[in-house]
Amino acid sequence: MLSAGVAFYWHYVGNLLERDVTANIMSAGNEAADSFSRAVAADQRVIDTIAITVQTNYPWTNTEKLERFLHLQVKYNEFENLGIIPLRGKSLQARVTAESESWLREIMMRAMAEDTYVSSRQVSASSGANVLVQAASLHDGMEPIGALFAVVPTDRYKNLLTLSSLGSNGAAFVISRDGQVEVAGRPLSSDNMFDVFGRAQFPKEKPFETVREQIQSGQSTFVRYYLDGQQRFLYGVALPVNNWYLLAVLPTHFIQAQAQRLTWVSLSLVTVILILFGLLMFYMFRLRAYSNQQLFNTAFVDSLTGVDNLNRMSVLFSKRLRELNGAAALVIFDILKFKVINDMLGYERGNQVLQRAADVLHAHLEKGEYMCRSTADNFVLVLSLTDRRTLRTRLTKLVATIRRECTAMDSCIMVDGVFGVYELLEHVPFFIALDRARLALEHAKHLSTGNIQFYDEKDRRRILLEQQLENSMEQALSSGAFTLMLQPKFDFNTREMKGAEALVRWNQGERGLVRPDDFIPLFERNGFILKLDMFILEQVAKVLNKWRQAGKEQVPIAVNFSRLHLNDSRYIPQMSRTVDAYEVPHHLIEVELTESVILNNRELAQNVIRGLHNKGFSVAMDDFGSGYSSLNVLKGLQFDSIKLDKEFLSGSEQNKTAQKVVQGAVDMIKAIGAKIVAEGVETAEQAEFLRQIGCDLAQGYYFSRPLPVAEFEQLLPNVMDLKK
């Protein structure tokens, strides 16, 4: 069977290689024909260019200068000879050993008759080498004055006919239709290919006479023939030069050698495979038990912490509930700001924190309880449940233990976490219960106090509301449901209105207004905020343009932009195009960036602020004092104004210590040359305190609520009134 297989394979490989080589020799022949034709055409273009120069200098009064020019062209273009054959008189040639005048006259007559001319293969009078003569006619206006000729060695084209893609096994030949060899890729015993083929043996279905007729008629041909005891492939194709023809020849022993080599390699491989097969079968049985265990671990065990993964919990969920008699809660634990740990301490320390957290959670489990690692820094637990109060107390202690036990080594970063809890009071599928626990977890992350949140129907209603908002946001934007509001900014000392902040309101008709707190975070998550921000910017630009046309004073308007814009290279160009479309000076637009946006990527924020300044926009930091690094941020970023967060100012009227902190922050901001805007000013006491410590502008309900554009315009004086 092995021998029969090898014989069959040998035959199969031979046929396959023959088909492959047939395609290759045709491709190589076509490539050689194309290369030769392009080379001849390129030489003719050079000759035509030289002819133009020669014609321009007619009549040739300075023959010495003309001969030097011809000599240089021979050198640069590697011609064997180059010359001018005038209609009357003796020719001018670059080489000392000149071609015969009678021969040149024949060349001139052919060139003048055909405009350009390529001769058949000639023997050079100067070198005795095989050459082609290419010529171009010369004219003075419409009158013929002679011809320019160039003697080109046939060796110039030899490399194009070696069929290099087939190695050293084949060659190509350029012949005339009568079989005369014009250019050869390798030496031949005869100058006529038909004489060579006359000694060859062609197949009965395609004798030599048929092949000759195809060549003479310019048809492509392909045949396998025998010559000198060797089988060869022949492929022919017509050329656009002089009605010539190209023949590509390849010996078939090339295929046989390839097939024989492949067959012996295949036989050796089969032998080796038979030997290895027995060893492999033995080894596979040894690996089977180990592999099954590895597959189990891959499918059901978390490789980092060693605890079960979510797939395993989904399989065992019902069983664990039965063990707890149905009195259980599904709890998701999430490490807060785990990305900060990875970024500041590295992934190795982050992995250590996860491993330690898994150990603490696992040690906390009681009989029948169960846990797994879900994704990243999330762990899922099935805990027994008696009542909410008991479970909340237990989880609070667990949070304290995690803070104490899981702090990253050699670091002051405190590990903290939150819990989302779904009480399994009814039978629901595992992944539905998991989704509800995740909803509670997301709610817990947004709470300013507390680390534990139980799922209730409010979470579900919130999700439904967000879905409704997402379904209607595009239509609302196109229908004008989003409206622009302007909250004025007043000078503390003069009580004059000096600017405004652009705010957005969403009116859902019968449903009433949607609070910004309900839709802004959602739009941040789904990316729609990018469209909404640019919509508000365009509305602001329209309003400023309207004021200019109405003769109203134009005051700067601040526009809030999401953090998502910072990663968009189109942000600043798009801003500029929008503002320029309404002919609004850039200094009237103030870009507000929140402190949290800047802290996420300070280097990126710095580049964006620099780009905004280069375009003439001013930049303000919003919510100063809401984060933990505000003072550090001011060192490296050039803000035009700083907005003090209302929480930062809260209670400072009566608290002397708080007043000193606020006073220090104001002094520091003043020192860097930025304006100070106090937002959320609601009482006269706040306003007076802020005025005394040097704040520039006030924004808040004490001065004015956000106003529709029409009401805000009533605060604007006319430009002519200002001039008076």
Domains of the chain: 24-263 (3.30.450.20), 310-455 (3.30.70.270), 480-723 (3.20.20.450)
- DSSP symbol at 553: P
What pLDDT shows up at residue 488?
A: 95
For residue 330, what pLDDT band results from cuts at 50, 70 and 90? Answer: very high
Distance CA 533, CA 229 (A): 84
Tell me the average pLDDT across 694-707. 93
From the list 709, 386, 678, the residue with the least C-alpha distance to 547 is 709
CB atoms within 10 A of CB 608: 24
For residue 722, what pLDDT band results from cuts at 50, 70 and 90? Answer: low
What's the token pair of residue 214? Answer: 């195809």
Give the rounded percent of residues in the chain with a pLDDT score beyond 70. Answer: 89
Distance CA 180, CA 297 (A): 78
What pLDDT shows up at residue 259?
A: 55
Contacts of 315 (CB under 8 A, 6+ apart): 300
Lowest pLDDT segment from 342-346, 353-357, 465-469, 707-711 = 342-346
What pLDDT shows up at residue 391?
A: 93
Centroid of chain to Cα 525: 23
What pLDDT shows up at residue 42?
A: 93
Burial of residue 498 (number of CB atoms within 10 Å: 0-12, 13-18, 19+):
middle
| pLDDT per residue as tens digits for the range 616-625 | 999 998 888 7
What pLDDT shows up at residue 548?
A: 92
What pLDDT shows up at residue 291?
A: 67
Vertex 485: Cα angle to 480 and 488 (nearest 5): 165
What pLDDT shows up at residue 15?
A: 67
Q: What share of the chain is helix, strand, coil (3-state, %, to 5)?
A: 50, 20, 25
Rg (CA), the chain: 45
| pLDDT per residue as tens digits for the range 8-39 | 666 666 566 667 777 878 888 899 999 999 99
From the list 422, 441, 443, the residue with the least C-alpha distance to 431 is 422
Distance CA 482, CA 514 (A): 10
For residue 580, what pLDDT band results from cuts at 50, 70 and 90? Answer: very high
Distance CA 709, CA 540 (A): 10
Which residue's entry shows tokens 């006619």?
137
CB atoms within 10 A of CB 9: 16
Contacts of 505 (CB under 8 A, 6+ apart): 482, 483, 485, 513, 516, 706
What pLDDT shows up at residue 188?
A: 83
3-class SS letters over 261-321? HHHHHHHHHHHHHHHHHHHHHHHHHHHHHHHHHHHHHHHHECCCCCCEEHHHHHHHHHHHH
What pLDDT shows up at residue 297?
A: 66
450 phi-psi bin (left φ>0, alpha ψ -120 to 50, beta other): left
For residue 469, what pLDDT band results from cuts at 50, 70 and 90? Answer: confident
155 neighbors 187 (Cβ within 8 angstroms): no
Distance CA 696, CA 641 (A): 10
Vertex 284: Cα angle to 279 and 285 (nearest 5): 105
What pLDDT shows up at residue 6?
A: 56
Distance CA 517, CA 462 (A): 12
CB atoms within 10 A of CB 382: 25
Concatenate the DSSP letters of all residues of 702-721 into one string: TT---EEHHHHHTTPPBHHH
For residue 133, what pLDDT band results from cuts at 50, 70 and 90? Answer: very high
504 neighbors 484 (Cβ within 8 angstroms): yes
Do the strands 116-118 and 130-140 form a parallel or antiparallel pair, or are they unpaired?
Answer: antiparallel
What's the token pair of residue 282? Answer: 């033995």
Question: How far is the CA of 310 from the CAs of 307, 314, 324, 371, 430, in angstroms?
Answer: 10, 6, 19, 9, 10
Query: What phi, psi does 477 have (nearest 5°)?
Result: -70, -40
From the list 711, 695, 270, 231, the residue with the least C-alpha distance to 484 is 711
Element (H, E) at 132: strand 130-140
| pLDDT per residue as tens digits for the range 179-205 | 999 999 888 888 899 999 888 999 999
301 neighbors 311 (Cβ within 8 angstroms): no
| pLDDT per residue as tens digits for the range 44-57 | 999 999 999 999 88
From the list 425, 426, 424, 324, the residue with the least C-alpha distance to 384 is 324
Tell me the average pLDDT across 73-92. 89
For residue 605, what pLDDT band results from cuts at 50, 70 and 90? Answer: confident
Average pLDDT, the chain: 85
Contacts of 386 (CB under 8 A, 6+ apart): 327
210 neighbors 219 (Cβ within 8 angstroms): no
Beta strands, E only, 14-91? 81-86
Residues facing 417 on adjacent strands: 335
Distance CA 632, CA 641 (A): 16
What pLDDT shows up at residue 448?
A: 57
From the list 424, 459, 457, 467, the residue with the least C-alpha distance to 443 is 459
Distance CA 637, CA 120 (A): 79
The answer to whether the Cα torsion of 467, 522, 422, 302 is positive or negative is positive
Centroid of chain to Cα 635: 35
From the list 112, 107, 117, 118, the residue with the least C-alpha distance to 142 is 112
Element (H, E) at 102: helix 101-114
From the list 492, 536, 547, the residue with the least C-alpha distance to 712 is 547
For residue 604, what pLDDT band results from cuts at 50, 70 and 90? Answer: confident
Distance CA 317, CA 309 (A): 12
What pLDDT shows up at residue 52?
A: 92
Q: Is the whole-model pTM more than 0.85?
A: no
Say whether pLDDT at 169 is over 80: no
